[in-house]
Amino acid sequence: MSFEKPYIRVAVALPVSRTFTYEVPEPLRSWAMVGKRVLVPFKNFQVTGYILELLSITHQTGVKKILDVLDETPMFPASMIPFFSWIATYYCYPIGEVIKGALPGGLNITHVETVSITDKGRSMLSGPSLNGPDRMVLEALQERGPVRLRTLYKDFKEKFFPQTLRRLERARWIVRERKLKPGRVRPKMERYVKAVEKRPSAEPLSQVRRRILKIVEDHGEMPLTALKGEVSTAGALVKKMADDGFLILFERGVYRDPLGERILPDGGPPDLTGDQSSVVERLSNTLGKGFQTYLLYGITASGKTEVYMRAVAATLERNREALVLVPEIALISQ
């Protein structure tokens, strides 16, 4: 939670090994929380940083102020910071880059440098005195409008291009601008359904459609996926019921957990089947007896993951370590 402290310790998403202290302006202090991203000044740039700690005081001088808090909710919990720090130390890698790599790509704000022609540059094109690479670059900018600097470098691979660009800029025939480009990640949308208040009589509806209508009425509104969980054929029927004036389909932005699905507490580990018990017993008996390899075969949803978890638990009870690799990030929450 936020305690509206005036300073924060920030890891910037750059290849620098240390963290930095920034001041949080008064209007932003209630938004500053560990795990959120912030936009901070860094030398001549504006970069994305991650709040690692809230600070009441600092003995540093000349502390810069953050420019903005970029998130409504934290991107990671405070409990993840020791893990990020361990990775940074063990692999000799900047902690800001570690956090950036742990979160989905496309979140961070980046800089885009563009080049455009000025009115003075256009007037030079109208005369006969300009030729060679200067004219080539100015003609390209006049025809295409503002162009990303990186694109120009690709288009003009000749060795003269950097010198040409500096010469045109000194003459004020072109202007370079550095702009912030927002992240590519967009809100995750989920389809919802709700009942129409003034709708036709439900008498002509089939039994399944009346059941769908009753479920939606009881919930007020609900995700379409949840409705499909209660009525397997709802997906094919809801669109028709919406066309007939019984239901309304709409989209709503939902929270996208950057670290995967939330792992919700349950009533404890499930009871093992006979086959699971025998496998867990065999694995547990081999712990500490040297390197061995096992292949656990089973169809989808046969209970393999629970066997892995029991084997890991038995390993941890012996003060040993375990590493579980999964083929895709979505399986981590299992």
Residue of higher predicted confidence among 282 and 189? 282
Residue of higher predicted confidence among 67 and 150? 67
175: left (phi over 0), alpha (psi -120 to 50) or beta: beta
- Residues 54, 30: contact at Cβ < 8 Å? no
> What is the reported pLDDT for 226?
86
- At 280 the three-state DSSP class reads helix
Question: How many residues would you count in the chain?
Answer: 334
> What is the reported pLDDT for 50?
96
What is the Cα 35 distance to its own chain's centre? 12
Indicate the pTM of the whole model.
0.48
pLDDT of 41 > 50? The answer is yes
Q: Which residue has the tokens 């001549």?
A: 44
> What is the reported pLDDT for 1?
46
> What is the reported pLDDT for 53?
95
What is the Cα 312 distance to its own chain's centre? 29
User: Rounded to an integer, what distance in angstroms lies between the CA atom of residue 259 and that of residue 329?
Assistant: 9
The single-letter DSSP state of residue 289 is S
Percentages helix, strand, coil for the chain (3-state, rounded to 5) are: 35, 20, 45
Q: What does the pLDDT average to over 240-248?
A: 87
In the chain, what are the domain boundaries? 7-102, 110-181, 191-254, 274-331
At 170, list the tokens.
Answer: 């000194």
CATH class of domain segment(s) 7-102:
alpha beta
Average pLDDT over all residues of the chain: 83
Q: Of 211, 206, 203, which Cα lies nearest the Cα of 228? A: 211
- Residues 1, 44: contact at Cβ < 8 Å? no
